[in-house]
């Protein structure tokens, strides 16, 4: 999740407060702020929703780069897939509550997943391995970046697997939520009164 070959640098990697949206695992605020914006709502993406509402209420958000954050990561690939799929679904739900929150960069994993599938199908349909060259180049780049950073072939292979799980999971979570809920778009008032 920190690799520049996936989503590294997109989230939380900025000094510009107008672009920084903290998540609950590294966010601190006063009880007054929490109460003024209505606290967490019972939804997926509740921490992003709260962060957006805090900023929309006019509170200043600051990134403290020197602060240490301890965040428990998922322990197996199945739970990681479930987590990133939920992140993709949450992005669509958040865009219904906060229409300007969906940015083109959020669509990258969906485009990546669909692009990989199209290239594989074209390679199979036309029996032409050249369609697989972009996929192979990307896999090699992921492996090489991780191998140089970690000095371990097994970690580099795991990096390739987890990168694909992350991008496909988020992408298909976003796509499935968009497709299944497209006809059920509700406003913030309809959802939460």
pLDDT single digits (tens) 102-116: 888 899 999 999 999
Domain spans of the chain, in order of start:
17-192
Q: What is the pTM of this model?
A: 0.83
Q: What is the DSSP string of 98-142?
A: SGGG--GGGGHHHHHHHHHHHHHHHHHHTT-GGGGHHHHHHHHHH
Confidence band of 18 (pLDDT split at 50, 70, 90): low
Q: Determine which of 1-5, 37-41, 104-108, 142-146 has the lowest per-residue pLDDT on average.
A: 1-5
Return mean pLDDT, the chain. 85
Tokens 């998922």 locate to 74
Q: For 55-67, what is each residue's pLDDT tens digit?
A: 999 998 887 778 7
Q: Is the pLDDT of residue 16 over 80?
A: no
8 Å CB contact between 169 and 81: yes
Q: Mean of the pLDDT values across residues 160-171?
A: 95
**Which helix (DSSP H) or strand (DSSP E) does residue 31 occupy?**
helix 31-37
Q: Phi-psi region for residue 81, left (φ > 0), alpha (ψ -120 to 50) or beta?
A: alpha
């Amino acid at each position: 999740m920190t690799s520049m070959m996936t989503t590294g640098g997109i989230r939380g990697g900025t000094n510009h407060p107008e672009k920084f949206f903290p998540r609950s695992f590294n966010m601190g605020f006063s009880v007054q702020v929490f109460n003024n914006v209505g606290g967490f709502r019972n939804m997926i993406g509740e921490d992003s929703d709260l962060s957006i509402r805090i900023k929309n209420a006019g509170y200043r958000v600051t990134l403290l780069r020197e602060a240490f954050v301890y965040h428990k990561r998922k322990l197996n690939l199945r739970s990681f897939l479930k987590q990133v799929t939920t992140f993709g679904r949450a992005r669509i739900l958040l865009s219904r509550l906060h229409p300007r929150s969906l940015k083109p960069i959020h669509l990258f994993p969906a485009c990546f997943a669909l692009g990989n599938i199209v290239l594989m199908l074209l390679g199979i349909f036309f029996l032409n391995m050249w369609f697989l060259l972009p996929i192979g180049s990307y896999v090699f780049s992921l492996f090489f970046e991780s191998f140089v950073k970690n000095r371990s072939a097994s970690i580099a292979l795991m990096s390739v697997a987890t990168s694909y799980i992350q991008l496909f999971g988020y992408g298909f979570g976003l796509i499935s939520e968009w497709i299944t809920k497209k006809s059920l778009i509700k406003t913030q008032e309809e959802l939460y009164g």
